[in-house]
Every structure is written in C-alpha cells, then in structure tokens.
Amino acid sequence: MESIILELLSPTNWDAFIDSIEATNAMQALEKGRVLLFRTLRFPLSPDEQRFLSPECADQKSKNVSYDFGKDETRGTRLQDGARQDLTAMMRRFATQARDFASRLLPGYAKHLEMGRTSYRPVEIRGRPSSGTKDDSRLHVDAFASSPVRGRRILRLFANVNPLQQVRVWQLGEPFEQFAPRLLPQIRLPRPGSAWLLQQLRVTKSRRTPYDHVMLSLHDRGKRDSNYQRTAPREEVNFPAGAVWMFFSDRVLHAALSGQYALEQTFYLPVEAMADQRDSPLRILENYYGRALV
C-alpha cells in the first residue's frame, strides 16, 4: 500500500512563509486522502503550562478536555478557578494558531473554514478502557452521532506535545473509495421522518441528513466488523513528539494505538469550497446511491 503520509514542507513556526505551489500541493494532497506531516512545527508549552502535562487535567468521565472557541469555554477538566482559566488560555492559543496556520496553508479554504471543537488529550491511549464504536484504536472514518455535519468535510490538525519524546502511534487504512463499498450494501438509507424524530428526542442537535446516517453507519459497522479490523490493509505511523499533522478525518481511515499529551483542532469545510468535490465522501456516496444525500 502506498504511503498515505506526505511531508510537503517543514515550517519551523506557525507564521512561516508558505508559497503558492506548496499551498496548492497541500490542498490537493488533503483532498486525495493524504496526511500532511510537519515534523518541525512545534507548539511549545510555556513553563507555567508544563503543569498541564498530567492526566489529572481530565475529569473521570472524559478522555479529552474540550474547548469551545465561540463560547471561550472549557469542559471535561477537573481543574477549577485560576488553573482552569490558564488551561483555557492555552487551548485558546492553540486554536488561534491552528486556525491562522490552516488559513495560510489552504488559502482557498480560508474564508470557508468553520471552527469546531479544540481538544487536549492528556490520557495515555494504550490500555484505556473502551469498547465497540467508542474504541478509537479500531480503523474508522469520523462521523458524529449527535452532531450532524450535513455534508461538510471534517478537517483536523493534531500536535504531539509529549515532553518525554514519546511518539503517537497510529494506523492509517485503505482509501475511502475502497473501504466504503465493502459495507454500503448492508446500509439502507434512513426512513422518512426518522431524522425529525431523532431531533425531537434530542438524540441529535440538528437534523441528521441521509449523508450523516450513511457516514455514521460506516463508522459504526467498520469498527464492529472484527474480520475487517483484523485483515484490512493498513500502514503504521509514528508521529514524533513535537510534530504536527493534518488530514480530512472523514475520508482517511485511522486508528490511534498509543500516545499521551496531544492537542487537536477540528474544522468544518463546505464541500463546495473544495478544489475537486468528486474527492469528498459526500460526492462518492451520492454517486453510489444515485441521489442527493443532503
């Protein structure tokens, strides 16, 4: 299997110059299902922020600390008062730098990118209790049960901030257009009225489209398929401490096996803002079903 990882450029800071050729190559690679790796792009923690390098930052119910950029609000942490405010400030700084970097790296997307949640992941992945569809150590594409994306792309940027040079071990799977047809014959489109009912029952925060239904089914069925998880082609990747990487997580099959201390920023992108919409899961699935899904 050809390597999915692509090292296009290695800026040493978040404000480094990115020329138009590099920007075009980055966008095309992302849309084709590659993962961009920036080995030398660091997100250094200040001496005061070093105290957050502890799994005790997360509360017992959460594996990640979550930050809402629009509300400037942090959840999933047991920290209180000044410590909580300082953690929020760190995550705000990361979110801002990630947004500005993504806008300069992908100028064609800049005015269309919508900020999603920021997460801080201080808990070691390996050995963390999880099962079924919540087990992120199984190959999967991203889809959200309660938060429909309604066809938008899910673009994510990660930074490994581990202070002990521990790598973050992932597996990356086969192309989406090979993965999806394995499961699509088992997936029926939702019944009329089901999306309205889910919203009324507050299972979903907004109306789930047929696209969201299919993507969630691919996510869940893929994780539950023990034979697929055992035999699917994959590439194991070690993301070094200090490295940053970016990819469309709704298209790239991925699994996180081990690692501790990472920051992550999610962006949403309308399909219409892509250079080539045919590479989006939405258009691939619409071509399969022969109808619009949003």
> What average pLDDT score do residues 217-232 get?
96
> What average pLDDT score do residues 241-255 get?
97
Q: Which amino acid is located at 33 in the chain?
A: G
How confident is the model over 63-122, as pLDDT tens digits?
899 999 999 999 999 999 999 999 999 999 999 999 999 999 999 999 999 999 999 999
The answer to whether residue 8 scores a pLDDT higher than 70 is no
Residue 95 CA to residue 119 CA, distance in Å, equals 9
From residue 265, alpha-carbon distances to 168, 180, 203, 294 in Å are 16, 26, 24, 25
The answer to whether residue 137 scores a pLDDT higher than 70 is yes
The answer to whether residue 1 scores a pLDDT higher than 80 is no
How confident is the model over 177-219, as pLDDT tens digits?
999 999 999 999 999 899 999 999 999 999 999 999 999 999 9
Q: In this predicted structure, what is the pLDDT of residue 2?
A: 66
Q: What is the pTM of this model?
A: 0.95
38 CB neighbour count, 10 Å cutoff: 23
Residue 196 CA to residue 110 CA, distance in Å, equals 33
Six-digit token pair at 52? 């957050």
Q: Find all residues with CB under 8 Å of 261, minimum gap 6, and list them.
A: 53, 121, 122, 160, 161, 162, 163, 166
Burial of 141 (0-12, 13-18, 19+ CB in 10 A): buried
Q: If pLDDT is split at 50, 70 and 90, which confidence band does 169 have?
A: very high
What is the second-level CATH architecture of the domain 12-289?
Answer: Sandwich (2.60)
Radius of gyration of the chain, Cα coordinates, nearest whole angstrom: 19
Cα angle for residues 15, 121, 163 (degrees, 5° grid) = 65
The answer to whether residue 9 scores a pLDDT higher than 70 is no
